[in-house]
Amino acid sequence: MITFGLIGVLNTLVDYGVFLLVRAALSRSAAALLMLDTAAGFCHYGDATTVLLIAANITSWQVGATGSYVMNSLITFAVESRRQLCWRDYISFVASGIAGLIANTATLVIAAEVLLLPILLAKAVAILASFVVNFALSHLVVFRARRGMPIQQQVKSSVGGVADRPQACATGE
């Protein structure tokens, strides 16, 4: 959990940075604000400011999720992933991360618009909420121990060796 947390800190910095850049870029674009206001009207929810928060948050989450998958596959869950990247696992990681994204976005909107917290604090609270959800799902769903892998091989892998990757991922899936 320590390496997951350290990777989480790095991803938090990426998430914050991308969030702030996208939010700033969209808020300076009249066309983007018009589009966001139209989307808010279509969804019957909030205004351009609310949709701007959601759009910036989803964008920063996508960037962070990709970096998190790569680092957690190669470091935190190296035994379980056999230190190999696989499209199937990436899709599973992103799918399980959607629960974290929902927790993150809902927390961000509530913290910023209901609790009226400053945006940086609201984003920090949102990241904390998604961290809890993401760790639980990563540990229990995405990077669970592979069936059929003998415990001796799991132990050997955790000490430094790398177990064989399932055939589906070895072929570039």
Q: Which of 20-34, 119-133, 159-173 has the lowest mean pLDDT?
A: 159-173
Query: CA 109, CA 101: separation in Å to the nearest integer?
Result: 12
Residue 173 pLDDT > 60: no
Number of domains in the chain: 1
More confident residue, 6 or 8: 6
Check: CB of residue 86 under 8 Å from CB of residue 165.
Answer: yes
- Cβ neighbours around 51 below 10 Å, total: 23
- What is the domain range of residue 79? 2-170
In terms of Cα–Cα distance, which of 15, 11, 19, 18 is closest to 71? Answer: 11
Distance of CA 54 to the CA centre of its chain: 14
Give Cα separations from 8 to 35, 71, 78, 111, 134 (angstroms): 32, 10, 16, 21, 10
Query: CA 135, CA 33: separation in Å to the nearest integer?
Result: 34
Residue 93 pLDDT > 60: yes
Check: CB of residue 23 under 8 Å from CB of residue 56.
Answer: yes
